[in-house]
Amino acid sequence: MTLALTALALPFLAFVLQALVPPLRRSGRGAAAVSIVCVGGSLAAAARLWLAPLGAPLVRRWEWIPADGGPLVTVGIYLDPTAQAMLVLVTLVAFLVQLYSLSYLREEPAPALGRYYTYQSLFAFSMLGLVLAPNFVEMFIFWELVGLCSYLLIGFWYERPAAARAAVKAFWTTRLGDVGFVIGIVLLWRATGTFDFEALFGLAEAGRLPAGLALTMFLIYLGAVGKSAQFPLHVWLPDAMEGPTPVSALIHAATMVAAGVFMVTRAFPLFAVVPEVLTIMAWVGAFTALLAATMACVENDIKRVLAYSTVSQLGYMMAAAGAAAPSAAFFHLLTHGVFKALLFLAAGAAIHAVGSSDIRQMGRLFGALPQTGIVFLIGTLALSGVWPFAGFFSKEAVLSAVWDGHLVGPFLMLALTALLTAAYMFRVVFVAFFGADRAGGHPHDAPPLMAIPLWVLGFLTVAIGVRVAVAGGETHHPRGWLTALSLGLAGAGIAVAFVTYQWRVISPAALARALRPFDWMARRRYGIDGAYAGIYRGIILGFAWLIGWIDRYVVDGLLNALSAGTLSAGDLLRRIQNGRAQDYVYGVACGLLALLVASQIWR
């Protein structure tokens, strides 16, 4: 318990120090040191916590908002194996990313660097708080803090219009889902009278949850749709690439997008009672996975390819959750967190070396950047699902769960996605790291401060896989034909990429021509971004125009009419005031008459 609180408190301490002591923040490196030391402490606490096996969930609550009949809202900590694992992942990735950033952003001015580390500390604190939240209210608070931090970090280079736009887009898009989330939370409270996870799970276990929760849980699921970039709210994630690359690594691996999947995993006992929502979740997840994979195939920006692959992998996780296998989803979340952080950081190293994120500007980087090349290859193999890397097992667990859930459609979509994943990832590898030498200048390998996090993550990617391969993971039930299928799909994907981009037996252009409709649509992102823009222009601007019209003609007109009426009434009344005393006496006499008449009528 103390350890969990320590892990939570240290980043907050760093944030408070940086936020309240401007000289520290402006010193840049000093702020970085505080951040890194604190999150390192958190990592140590989380690791120590992870080593101690946990029986029942550890819960500790403090009363926050008191109400009649017991505390309505509490704050506290809910610690179970899921949270333990998540704590380690979050602190690990945050620690490595902060370490890496120190080198990656060394050319930033000191105040900007301090600002960056301030946000980083708050981000780590928010995510840890979300992981440890014992009830929906606390979770929602941290949930929004996470959204705020990703807004701040995506827009870190706020003087760039594209970054500012991307930050706002991320904020608004996730906010759409959050509206559903908060309504769902309140509806759930109305139905059950509690926000507390333990109480809710108790009700679910006893089968005493009230009926008709489908809409409520669907609304809560919407929150995850926004955060975890599920179709149709996935549009913000690729744009979030405008932030610094380490931020992308953090957002994609451990914090922002993980929040949605984590929330679904955390609240799974509640989702389990509404199979309709689970089915939707599975189909949407699988569809998202396939859609994002096709879009990744046509991207030339290495970060965007990775971004689409994240969307695609999040689809995997959601599909697994929808197939009633939250453990598979969570397992994939963990392994994906590790190797996606690796991929982003390696991509960052490559971008750093080349000065561009376009893979067509790279080429034969493997020779110049052997370290980066190796770890990127490790990450790619893991993401493609090649034995014995971590991604293979988690992906197989997901596929197996979806098959067990008798979800044939999603299963086929996910299988196709696996093929595409291998293909587009190896396309990047072949084009950027092998292939013709088109890189200008003299790219050099990453400095040690950047290399160390890469090697740590690379090692973990292999180690997790090997450990599961040797010991057999708790979520891994080998199934012969499925293993063969997974490996076959990955192999086929790699082969396609090799034949097209390395061996060049088939030209990419010919392939694109053969699949012209798909190519055409994927390049335009299936018109989804366009549709949002259209909605924005059509509806919001139309509405604004309407409001403007109403303001100009109805509201202003009303005021003008009012003032004109006042003026003309005054003009009429002015004529009564003719200044002749005798006419006023007429008025007095008529008033007296009126009084007399009135007294006759109402006596």
Partner 1 sequence: MGLQAYLLLAAAVFAIGLFGVLTRRNAVGILLGIELMLNAVNINLVAFSRFNGDLAGMVFALFTIAITVAEVAVGLAIVIVIFRVRKTVEADRLDLLKG
Partner 2 sequence: MTLETAGFWGLAAVLLAGSLAVVLTKNLFHSVLYLAGALVATGGVFLLLDAAFLFGIQLLLYAGGVVTIVVFAIMLTERLVGERIRQTSRRLANGAIVSAAVFVGILMAVGQARLPTERPPLAGDVTRGLGEALLTRSVLSFELLAVLLVAALLGALYFARNDD
Write down the least CB distance from residue 551 to partner 2, Å.
51
Of partner 2, partner 1, none, which one does residue 442 interact with (CB within 5 to 8 Å by kind)? none
Tokens of 470: 């040797």
Alpha helical stretches, state H, 228-267: 236-239, 245-253, 256-266
Residue 25, burial from CB neighbour count under 10 angstroms (0-12, 13-18, 19+):
buried
User: Does the protein bind partner 1 through residue 599 (CB under 8 A)?
Assistant: no
Question: What whole-number distance in Å separates Cα of residue 231 and Cα of residue 558?
Answer: 45
**Site stretch for partner 2 (CB under 8 A), options 232-240, 243-251, 399-407, 584-592:** 584-592
User: Does the protein bind partner 2 through residue 603 (CB under 8 A)?
Assistant: yes
CB 385 within 8 A of CB 490: yes
Of partner 2, partner 1, none, which one does residue 579 interact with (CB within 5 to 8 Å by kind)? partner 1
Question: What whole-number distance in Å separates Cα of residue 532 and Cα of residue 322?
Answer: 27
Write down the least CB distance from residue 593 to partner 2, Å.
6
Of partner 2, partner 1, none, which one does residue 593 interact with (CB within 5 to 8 Å by kind)? partner 2
CB 203 within 8 A of CB 267: no
Question: What whole-number distance in Å separates Cα of residue 473 and Cα of residue 466?
Answer: 10
Per CB under 8 A, contacts with partner 2 among 131-190 are none
Alpha helical stretches, state H, 355-407: 365-368, 370-384, 390-404
- Give long-range contacts, CB 8 A cutoff, 24+ apart: 552-560: none
Identified binder of partner 2 from the candidate list 84, 213, 592, 602, rule CB under 8 A? 592
User: Does the protein bind partner 2 through residue 593 (CB under 8 A)?
Assistant: yes
User: Does the protein bind partner 2 through residue 584 (CB under 8 A)?
Assistant: no
**Site stretch for partner 1 (CB under 8 A), options 51-59, 378-386, 531-539, 573-581:** 573-581
- Lay out the site mask for partner 1 across 413-442 (x = CB under 8 A, - = otherwise): ------------------------------
Identified binder of partner 1 from the candidate list 56, 470, 578, 599, rule CB under 8 A? 578
Q: Which is nearer to partner 1, 577 or 600 (CB)?
A: 577
User: Does the protein bind partner 1 through residue 575 (CB under 8 A)?
Assistant: yes
Identified binder of partner 2 from the candidate list 503, 549, 584, 586, rule CB under 8 A? 586
- Lay out the site mask for partner 2 across 263-282 (x = CB under 8 A, - = otherwise): --------------------
Tokens of 125: 């604190």
CB 261 within 8 A of CB 281: no
Write down the least CB distance from residue 583 to partner 1, Å.
9
CB 344 within 8 A of CB 413: no
Residue with tokens 């409520």: 216
Write down the least CB distance from residue 580 to partner 1, Å.
5
Torsion on CA atoms 81, 86, 87, 89, rounded to nearest 10: 130
Helix (H, G, I), strand (E, B) or coil at 32: helix
Torsion on CA atoms 248, 253, 254, 255, rounded to nearest 10: 40
User: Does the protein bind partner 2 through residue 599 (CB under 8 A)?
Assistant: yes
Identified binder of partner 1 from the candidate list 208, 406, 574, 603, rule CB under 8 A? 574
Residues that bind partner 2 (CB under 8 A): 586, 589-590, 592-593, 596-597, 599-600, 603
Residues that bind partner 1 (CB under 8 A): 573-582, 585-586, 589
